[in-house]
Amino acid sequence: MATAILRNPQDFITCPDTGQNLNKPAISLAKANIFTAIVFLLAGGALGLLVALTRWPAIHILPSELFYIALTGHGAAVLLFWCHFFEVGVAYYFVTSPINARLATPKIAWFSFWLMLIGAAMATVMVLIGQATVMFSAYPPLKAHPLFYVGVILFAVGALIPMFIIIATLIKAKNERTYTGSMPLASFGILIYAIIAIFTWVMGAVIMIPTLLWSMGLIHNMDAQMYRVVFWALAHSTQQMNIVVHITIWYTLAAVLFGARPLNEKVSRMAFVLYLFALQLGSVHHLLSDPGSSFAWRTFNTSYAGYLAVLGSLIHGLTVPGGIELAQRRRGLSHGLFEWLRKAPWANPVFSGFFLSLVLFGFLGGITGVTMSNQQINMIIHNTVYVPGHFHGTVATGTTLAFFAFSYWIVPLLTRHKLAFPGLARMSTYLFGLGMGTFAVFFMAAGHLGVPRRHWDITYADASLPFQFSATVQMLVTVAEIGAVIGGTGALFYLISILGTFMGKTVEKGALPPLAEPAGVVAARLHGGTEPHIKGLEVPGSLVLCLTLLTFLIIYYFAQYKYLATIWGIR
């Protein structure tokens, strides 16, 4: 085996807890990005709570104008700014530490950070002062103040630059031989993320620049359908960036907590490549009920290509828990199907957040995402609260929960501060998972009964044509919003704990909780490698979990078609 070489050791510090070599500029940038992300989550979470308390029929707290400001602000602050600042921050870590690399061009990385921050602040202010009440999708003919679009464009350009820095860092590391063999899986995941991001942010520019000109009155006609096609190349792909990063985090946390390795690294890598080719094509599932495009375009992208991406997800869904199961069984936890899981560290928020995110993402976000990508089924849920129900299953209980779990590990690692308020941290993952999970499930049920999304008042009190939803619907929406409040409380506990950690005191050693393996081995595990000679049967518990998911998917699919047949009978 060739030997890895360290260039400029003075640019690194070694973590006494994990044995990793941390590149100093990358750590500062990661901390700044993650901290900013958390501030946006605070703002966006508060707005989300106000939205939930308005949609809760018995409370109905905001008047309509403020409701739509809060809804737009919530969508932008959490979906765009929380997720993408956080992702850029962790990406800087993933492309440096696991491969002993130095970040390329830190000065440009700082420049991009400020661009993102100025853009995000500008867009948020325009929303909060009521000059951009266009929802996060900003569909024409809804028009915002030009400064809102300028803010979004600055943010997108700022978020694009780090992707080239990431790729340059990886190429430089390879050339300087800072690692040997194949690129570690975590860094590879981030490479895939960066490529998807380049497509995404370029699409953002392609659609936002004409929209800016239109808002300034320089272009007179904005084609609503053309906007939607290109907008979803941007907006859906940002979700794929989220997914790729949170899956990279799953693999990393499995390695950190259990010393687990992917069952087969090459297969996991292939699953990331499937994402690269097929995931963004699923953007069409936002347009399935729109006019103006052919059945071939819709079906090729969502059904044929989309299923390749689903295959990728099923692979990750088996290999991540499978790696943990194998590591646990080797430690002697091999009774029955699930001793390895029962005896996992459920009181550690790094684990609970990670595992709940894995399960909830698969069952709530994944299964519903696959079925609603079907042309016929899409028609029964289009523009209902089923849609926010589904995507809180992906971005909240999937991505955000994984980011919570990872923060509890990475923030102490980067700051060398002990986790503050560990009791709150412990509760946060359960409250957020349970609350947002309830919100998602009950919103999806209400969506099936026709409750529209983004609606200020489902009692239609001031509508000229009276309409009343049944008591069942009122109950479903109420339970969903109770779930949202519980989830919001979980998010608040997370924020208190993580902001407290940022402000804590530096410790020499022991900032991180005790790890399953000695420091040097943890660092090596992050480098990856494959479990030798694994066929899958060595991990029966994970196989059962995956087959349960698959069975549930099949039953759910049939149930949706049955439902379609009852409400839209063919006689």
Partner 1 sequence: MADFDSPTENPEDADPVSGWQAFMDDPSMLLFLGIASPTLLYTLWGVMEVLSVPVAGY
What residue ranges bind partner 1 (CB under 8 A)? Answer: 1, 3-6, 9, 12, 14, 19-21, 100, 167, 170-171, 174, 179-183, 188, 191-192, 195-196, 198-199, 203, 223, 225-226, 229-230, 233, 237, 265-266, 269-270, 273, 276-277, 280-281, 283-284, 287, 291-294, 297, 300-301, 305, 520-521, 523-524, 527-530, 532
Tell me whether residue 77 or residue 526 sits nearer to partner 1 (CB atom): 526
Contact 324, 340 (CB under 8 A): yes
92 vs 413: CA distance, rounded Å: 14
Tell me whether residue 236 or residue 426 sits nearer to ligand HEM (CB atom): 236
Q: Which residues within the stretch 415-454 sit at the binding site for ligand HEM (CB under 6 A)? A: 453-454
Contact 512, 409 (CB under 8 A): yes
Tell me whether residue 259 or residue 365 sits nearer to ligand HEM (CB atom): 365
> Which tokens go with 337?
């199907």
Contacting residue, 15, 27, 78, 380, with ligand HEM by CB under 6 A: 78
Radius of gyration of the chain measured on its C-alpha atoms: 23
235 vs 226: CA distance, rounded Å: 14
240 vs 309: CA distance, rounded Å: 10
Instruction: Enumerate the β-bridge partners of residue 14.
Output: 21
293 vs 344: CA distance, rounded Å: 49
CB of 210 to partner 1, least distance (A): 13
Tell me whether residue 264 or residue 497 sits nearer to partner 1 (CB atom): 264
Question: Binding to ligand HEM by residue 60, rule CB under 6 A?
Answer: no
Tell me whether residue 453 or residue 525 sits nearer to ligand HEM (CB atom): 453
Question: Binding to ligand HEM by residue 74, rule CB under 6 A?
Answer: yes
Contact 437, 480 (CB under 8 A): no
Contact 207, 229 (CB under 8 A): no
Residue 233 binding: pick among partner 1, ligand HEM, none (C-beta 5-8 Å cut-off by kind): partner 1
Contacting residue, 49, 122, 326, 498, with ligand HEM by CB under 6 A: 49
262 vs 315: CA distance, rounded Å: 10
Residue 396 binding: pick among ligand HEM, partner 1, none (C-beta 5-8 Å cut-off by kind): ligand HEM
Residue 454 binding: pick among partner 1, ligand HEM, none (C-beta 5-8 Å cut-off by kind): ligand HEM
Contacts with 567 (C-beta within 8 Å, 6 or more apart), sequence order: 380
Helix, strand, coil share (%) of the chain residues, nearest 5:
70, 0, 25
403 vs 83: CA distance, rounded Å: 9
Contacting residue, 244, 281, 358, 395, with ligand HEM by CB under 6 A: 395
CB of 203 to partner 1, least distance (A): 7
Contact 50, 59 (CB under 8 A): no
Question: Binding to ligand HEM by residue 458, rule CB under 6 A?
Answer: no
Tell me whether residue 31 or residue 453 sits nearer to ligand HEM (CB atom): 453
**Torsion angles phi and psi, residue 21, rounded to 5:** -95, 120
Tell me whether residue 193 or residue 432 sits nearer to partner 1 (CB atom): 193
Instruction: Enumerate the β-bridge partners of residue 21.
Output: 14
Give me the residues that bind ligand HEM (CB under 6 A), please: 45, 48-49, 51-52, 55, 71, 74-75, 78-79, 82-83, 135-136, 385, 388, 392, 395-396, 400, 453-454, 484, 487-488, 491
